[in-house]
Amino acid sequence: MARLAQTAGLTDVQQEILSTVRDFVDKEIIPVATELEHRDEYPQAIVDGLKELGLFGLMIPEEYGGLGESLLTYALCVEEIARGWMSVSGIINTHFIVAYMLKQHGTQEQKDHFLPRMAAGEIRGAFSMSEPGLGSDVSAITSKAVRDGDEYVLTGQKMWLTNGGTSSLVAVLVRSDEGHPEGTAPHRSMTTFLVEKEPGFGEVRPGLTIPGKIEKMGYKGVDTTELIMDGLRVPADRVLGGVTGRGFYQMMDGVEVGRVNVAARGCGVAQRAFELGVRYAQQRHTFGKPIAQHQAIQFKLAEMATKVEAAHAMMVNAARKKDSGERNDLEAGMAKYLASEYCKEVVEDAFRIHGGYGFSKEYEIERLYREAPMLLIGEGTAEIQKMIIGRRLLEEYRFQG
Ligand SMILES: Cc1cc2nc3c(=O)[nH]c(=O)nc-3n(C[C@H](O)[C@H](O)[C@H](O)COP(=O)(O)OP(=O)(O)OC[C@H]3O[C@@H](n4cnc5c(N)ncnc54)[C@H](O)[C@@H]3O)c2cc1C
């Protein structure tokens, strides 16, 4: 076995894309990632490189200038990128979700307007459901839109926007009362608005403010922000799909593919942690031999590699299921849950193998140790994944007695 996490049955095109991305990660991302992360610096040169590689349009259909690739190709690229630096995968993830939602649910005019420039990386996407008072419980959203002639007026506060500052298009989920009388189920009275804005911070459009970056323990470099709407006027033709009341379902569709993506990130970070652990274990000597020769450390390496393989297999399965056109919520939920938990465990084992040096900022594992927890939360916590998995299992295994 040459390396862990091989994927059988890839086409020549997929293999070529992956090898180009891997090469880019090894040469352009890994050597600079830790330094940039410690400085919380946006990786502009890396983003420019990804643009050149066409990564921002990987899954956008060819007719709109993208590469028209599958979710599997995309997820395998994300795995490679996260192996280099998880924050970079965060920069493309929300862009990818918004492009996917436009492709699946946008009007023809919306697709023609946004997708070609998104494929080129000129417009970059962020998506916004969470608010200060809610994350898991999306149905509790309080931000709202009120119709006023050919426009909607949006008011409310959003929280935790990945790429909130650097993006120029935000898909925002709010409650809309028009056509949805009092008492309508929350899921049927939500609408996704496509909000265009200038990148940057402060008042980026009349009625729309992006305060500064939220300070985070890890996952630095990529900006995470709040978003404040105070009388923000959005034209009616910027309702995703042109019809109000469908936003919840559109967002959930986006989050489902986003879950495969987060699973892929977990796989990539775990792989890097394994690489760091297995290398260090052969360099460090205690009691007259490399620590890799102590059985306790070898067992750790065995457990870590097994987890890397298992998470990769589940992630690939979930992506392939979606690509085949089937419902994949169960597989995506399982893959996201397992990959993020295993990632945290593998990173912790690699940290332990490093002994005291793992605590030093000079060692890459210190960065991974602060990054892994984000995957336990983003795109739905472990508890939320288990709720989805449990519900689907009870549908499949309904007791007939
Ligand atoms: C770095 C970062 C980037 C993010 N980026 C984005 C983004 O781009 N766009 C966006 O919209 N959001 C984003 N988020 C928000 C993220 O999706 C939420 O943080 C996440 O969904 C959890 O919501 P919460 O933080 O409100 O926790 P809560 O929902 O308050 O949950 C708190 C705890 O209670 C548990 N819990 C909640 N409900 C139940 C239940 N019914 N049963 C059992 N346990 C339960 C949760 O699992 C968790 O352990 C980001 C978050 C972070 C940290």
CATH code of 249-396, in short, is 1.20.140.10
- Residue 129 Cβ inside 6 Å of ligand 1? The answer reads yes
Query: In CATH terms, are 12-119 and 249-396 the same topology?
Result: no
The angle, 0 to 180 degrees and rounded to 10, between the axes of the packed helices 295-323 and 71-84 is 150
Q: Which residue has the tokens 């650097």?
A: 166
379 is catalytic: yes
- Output the pTM of the full model: 0.96
Q: What CATH fold (topology level) applies to the domain 12-119?
A: Butyryl-Coa Dehydrogenase, subunit A; domain 1 (1.10.540)
pLDDT of residue 3: 83
Question: What's the pLDDT tens digit per position in 206-247?
Answer: 999 999 999 999 999 999 999 999 999 999 999 999 999 999
Q: What is the mean pLDDT of residues 26-41?
A: 97
Helical (H) or strand (E) element with 298: helix 295-323
- Residue 374 Cβ inside 6 Å of ligand 1? The answer reads yes
Q: Residue 85: which residues within 8 A CB-CB, separation 6 or more?
A: 29, 30, 33, 36, 37, 43, 46, 221
- Residue 363 Cβ inside 6 Å of ligand 1? The answer reads no
Q: Name the residue ranges covered by the structural domains of the chain.
A: 12-119, 125-244, 249-396
What's phi and psi for 243, nearest 5 deg?
-130, 130
| Active-site position among 35, 379, 383, 395 | 379
Mean of all residue pLDDT scores within the chain = 96
Residue 332 CA, ligand 1 centroid: distance in Å: 17
- Residue 36 Cβ inside 6 Å of ligand 1? The answer reads no
Place domain 125-244 in its CATH homologous superfamily: Butyryl-CoA Dehydrogenase, subunit A, domain 2 (2.40.110.10)
pLDDT of residue 2: 59
Question: What's the pLDDT tens digit per position in 131-183?
Answer: 999 999 999 999 999 999 999 999 999 999 999 999 999 999 999 877 666 77
